[in-house]
Amino acid sequence: MSETDRVLIKGNEAVAFGAVDAGCRCYFGYPITPQNEVPELLSSLIPENGGAFVQAESEVGAINMLLGAGACGVAAMTSSSSCGISLMQEGISYMAGSHIPGVIINMSRGGPGLGDIGPSQGDYFQAVKGGGHGDHRNLVLAPSLAQECYDFMFRAFALAFAWQNPVMILGDAIVAQIKEPVRRVPPAGAHKPKDMSDLARDWRIEGFGGRGQNAVPRLLKSVYLAEGALAERNRLLLQKYTDMRREALFDSEYTDDAELVVVAFGSIARIARSAVRRLRDEGRKVGLFRPVSLYPFPEEALRLCATGRRFLVIEQNTGQMVEDVRLALNGVSSVLWHGVMPGLFIGAGELIDPILQAVKEKS
């Protein structure tokens, strides 16, 4: 493949191209920085591909439109940023409770409140712990390259339909706004859009006539009032969340002989990678473990590389993923933490000292 096959585009634009190439047919969303290139590009790409693009009146409207389109078994998505994602939580909970698929992009902002539009990983808890009311989980993928913004859209739709569950892509201002070379080619093993409608055949609403005149009407809902019915529903969801664990994804570099393993995700992971490489060049035995799926968290893989190593979690928030790392390691290894405050643009240089300090610190 020649270099001209790679196009220089923003992470947000890669999301939009990835969405249509992965078979997305409906987009619903409300403008918010720093993700506006997603709807701007899709407002032409989706209609050109025969789908529906609706600029909703609010994020509340958008998520419920997504619920409706997902209930029809159609590949659909929305995109927003932190405060907008907060407004969507009710709808996300209903989708999870009703087994309705859909893809939600959160190119997050700094917070709390209106915060700023700088880099932040402050929405980690919201994304991986469900975010909405009741017991529910979203599958969460965290890209750190524009190419991954493209590739992960295929995986996101495949996961949404395989598990009939909301899938969230959690990015930030860096991966949203960065321009990098992107190959617009479906990743190896990507499903075809047709596979999704096949997966939906057994549960989607469509008008019962599509299944023959005597077909039993279908109902997608989350309310279960009869005695024991909700417990049964939650048991089913628990089973689903347990089975989902096999979807865990991670990346690692230099962990084999590392004395200290840095754990970081998303944009911070790539900045940490630069710092780790620089320290490797100086002969320091440091490695990098990057959770690619934040839910399910790759706890098994993390445990496998735990023995005899110490861990330093670096994240751009006041301490969120560190809790999942500690839970995964369950006291087997010591886990240190370095927080980068939301809103800061940091380079690899700022991570050198914290890593060196962790190397020196006795457990």
- Contact call for residue 292 and another protein (CB under 8 A): no
CA distance 315 to 105: 20
Question: Which strands sit side by side in the sheet containing 102-108, from one edge to the other?
Answer: 52-55, 26-29, 76-80, 102-108, 166-172, 139-141, 293-295
CA distance 352 to 103: 36
* Interaction pattern, residues 109-138, with another protein; x per rule: CB under 8 A: -------xxx--------------------
Rounded to the nearest whole angstrom, what is the least distance from the CB of residue 16 to another protein in the complex? Answer: 18
- Contact call for residue 208 and another protein (CB under 8 A): yes
Q: With respect to another protein, which residue has the nearer C-beta, 30 or 297? A: 30
Residues in the chain: 363
Of 49-88, which residues contact another protein (CB under 8 A)? 52, 54, 56-58, 60-62, 64-72, 74, 76
Rounded to the nearest whole angstrom, what is the least distance from the CB of residue 100 to another protein in the complex? Answer: 8
- Contact call for residue 178 and another protein (CB under 8 A): yes
Q: With respect to another protein, which residue has the nearer C-beta, 232 or 300? A: 232
Q: With respect to another protein, which residue has the nearer C-beta, 110 or 296? A: 110
CB atoms within 10 A of CB 212: 8
CA distance 211 to 105: 33
Binder among 183, 218, 280, 284 for another protein (CB under 8 A):
218
CA dihedral 124→125→130→131, nearest 10 degrees, is -100
CB atoms within 10 A of CB 96: 25
- Contact call for residue 310 and another protein (CB under 8 A): no
- The SS3 assignment for 79 reads strand
> Which range, of 12-20, 48-56, 163-171, 317-325, touches another protein by CB under 8 A?
48-56
Binder among 32, 96, 159, 271 for another protein (CB under 8 A):
271
Binder among 350, 352, 356, 359 for another protein (CB under 8 A):
350
Closest CA to 315 of 104, 127, 92: 127
Binder among 47, 112, 210, 319 for another protein (CB under 8 A):
210
Burial class (CB in 10 A: 0-12, 13-18, 19+), 225: exposed
Rounded to the nearest whole angstrom, what is the least distance from the CB of residue 327 to another protein in the complex? Answer: 28
- Contact call for residue 184 and another protein (CB under 8 A): no
- For residue 143 the two structure tokens come to 């890209």
Rounded to the nearest whole angstrom, what is the least distance from the CB of residue 93 to another protein in the complex? Answer: 8
Rounded to the nearest whole angstrom, what is the least distance from the CB of residue 351 to another protein in the complex? Answer: 9
- Contact call for residue 99 and another protein (CB under 8 A): no
Q: With respect to another protein, which residue has the nearer C-beta, 7 or 332? A: 7
Burial class (CB in 10 A: 0-12, 13-18, 19+), 291: buried
CA distance 268 to 191: 29
Which DSSP symbol is given to 116? B
- Contact call for residue 258 and another protein (CB under 8 A): no
- For residue 90 the two structure tokens come to 């009710």
Binder among 82, 177, 320, 333 for another protein (CB under 8 A):
177
Name 112's Cβ contacts closer than 8 Å, sequence gap at least 6.
122
- Contact call for residue 222 and another protein (CB under 8 A): yes
DSSP string, 153-175: HHHHHHHHHHHTSEEEEEEEHHH
Give the distance from CA 181 to its chain's centroid.
21
Q: With respect to another protein, which residue has the nearer C-beta, 191 or 273? A: 273
Interface residues with another protein (CB under 8 A) are 3-4, 6, 8, 25-26, 28, 52, 54, 56-58, 60-62, 64-72, 74, 76, 90-91, 94, 98, 116-118, 174, 177-181, 205-210, 213, 216-223, 270-275, 277, 345-350
